[in-house]
Amino acid sequence: MIDICAQEKKQLSSITAALARIASAIEPVTETERVTLKNALGRVLAEPIYSAINSPFDRNSAMDGYAFSSHNLIPEQSISLTQVGISWAGQPYQGTLQSGQCVRIFTGAVLPAETDSVIMQEQVQVDASSIIFSAQTQGKQHVRAIGEDIKQGDLVCAPFKKITATDLGLLASVGTESLVVKRKVKIAYFSTGNELTALGQALESGKIYDSNRYLLSGLLTDACYQVTDLGVIADDPQQLEDCILAAAKNHDLIMSTGGASVGDADYIKEVLARCGKVDFWKIAIKPGKPLAFGKIHDCHFFGLPGNPVAVVVTFQHIVAPALEQLSGISMSQPLQLLAKCTTALKKSPGRQEYQRGIVSQDNNGELLVASSGQQGSNILSATSAANCYIVLPVECRGIQPGEQVRIELIRSVISSVISH
Ligand code: AMP
Ligand code: MG
């Protein structure tokens, strides 16, 4: 007797193997462009940035208070110094301090050359121009050293880094006006299916609204991507072929959803065989088993499943790493945490499952996770309610309440997309 399950298991490839094959097939874009610092958020740095200056540029104060020389301090005695001037941020004190003198100083103001210490204003007593320092006063405190953040010539940002808001601040602090980044990756996507109805139209029986294009528009919102929405293509081989061949001419990657299984109206496979070289894989993950990956001329192609939850899961775990690599960032592994599962989870062995869950933290800081609801690959509501995936390995046969499970936090983009 033929064991269909065993046969199917043989054909399934692991997600690790699938990612490795994708990684070896993708070359990062090589073209670059120069952008101003303000336009660099989320872009991929193409060249190293070295600092032309020390940051801080001068020795300056970390507090509002008084700058003085520690030579004035006498162990276990209070002292009185005479305030001879003020050092403002942007307007340093111009004079020279003698022994027994101090200056009023504000945060970020340059320390006079003769001083090496700052005391907080709350820790002194002020009597006209006499400033009384207590016996507990410590020297050499609250001074920011020249170059303590970045030294002249230091590497500020390494290439292939996706620029964050903090990087913008850091780069500005060393005077970077513009930088060279990888060009944007050009991505086109479309939905297939005669059942798909545009928003704004009443639904007829048998029809559904097109969730996937809205999902993808949210998932593809990224400064590194230049995205074209090709709309809905009917289950018609000629229309699909025309659309794919035209898009392949001026995009780096095309993504479709639906039409990739083996139903009578699933034409993606036959069309792709005519247009280019695309393999159909069965990946051992749930949801999201069928996936097409290949190339049409120089354009990569991903054929995702039709069910929206499978679209989210395959996008985040398979397409997003590939897009990162195409953009010039090295492929990253999702961070996994351990959590105690508070609900029973059903699971059959054979595929790695990404069940949707809600993670919370108890008073002791322990992570607790519960199923977010029904786990069907069409159940967007439970995915919208989720804030994490519960990752159940291939061999797992279900989870009892109290067992430890691995979770991955869902990037916030998912919930914002689905609630639109
Ligand atoms: P298919 O792979 O085309 O057989 O689609 C599988 C399931 O996903 C079917 O129930 C489709 O109606 C559904 N589906 C396909 N495309 C979409 C879409 N763009 N939005 C929502 N559901 C879809
Ligand atoms: Mg279909």
Residue 296 CA, ligand 1 centroid: distance in Å: 23
Q: Look up the CATH number of the domain holding residue 85.
A: 2.170.190.11
State how many domains the chain has.
4
Model confidence band, residue 36 (pLDDT cutoffs 50, 70, 90): very high
Ligand 2 ion: nearby residues, β-carbon < 5 Å: 193, 258-259
**Residues 166 and 192 grouped into a single domain:** no
Mutate to test the pocket of ligand 1, among 195, 261, 302, 377 (most ligand atoms within 8 A of CB): 195
191 lines ligand 1 (CB under 6 A): yes
Q: Which residues fall within 8 angstroms of residue 183, CB to CB, at 6 or more apart?
A: 29, 31, 32, 33
Residue 203 CA, ligand 2 centroid: distance in Å: 17
Spatial distance between the Cα atoms of 326 and 308, rounded to a whole number of angstroms: 24
Closest listed residue to residue 235, CA positions, set 271, 276, 198 = 271
Ligand closest to CA 378: 1
Spatial distance between the Cα atoms of 217 and 360, rounded to a whole number of angstroms: 29
**Residues 401 and 300 grouped into a single domain:** no
As given in the structure block, the two tokens for residue 343 are 């609900």
Q: Which domain holds residue 269?
A: 4-31+185-327
Give Cα separations from 308 to 131, 156, 281, 321, 340 (angstroms). 70, 41, 19, 19, 28
408 lines ligand 1 (CB under 6 A): no
**Residues 409 and 393 grouped into a single domain:** yes
**Residues 202 and 166 grouped into a single domain:** no
Per-residue model confidence as pLDDT tens digits over 300-340: 999 999 999 999 999 999 999 999 999 999 666 789 999 99
The pTM of this model reads 0.91
Q: Look up the CATH number of the domain holding residue 164.
A: 3.90.105.10
Torsion of CA 79, 84, 88, 94, to 10 degrees: -130
Per-residue model confidence as pLDDT tens digits over 239-280: 999 999 999 999 999 999 998 777 777 788 889 889 999 888
Domain membership flag for residue 332:
no
Ligand closest to CA 379: 1
Residues of the chain with pLDDT > 90, as a percent, come to: 89
**Residue 5 above 60 pLDDT?**
no
Per-residue model confidence as pLDDT tens digits over 196-247: 999 999 999 999 999 999 999 999 999 999 999 999 999 999 999 999 999 9
290 lines ligand 1 (CB under 6 A): no
Ligand closest to CA 199: 1
**Residues 13 and 86 grouped into a single domain:** no
Residues of the chain with pLDDT > 70, as a percent, come to: 95
167: which strand partners? none
**Residues 42 and 175 grouped into a single domain:** yes
- Closest Cα to atom 15 of ligand 1: 306
Q: Which helix (H) or strand (E) holds 212?
A: helix 211-219
Domain boundary among 91, 120, 144: 144
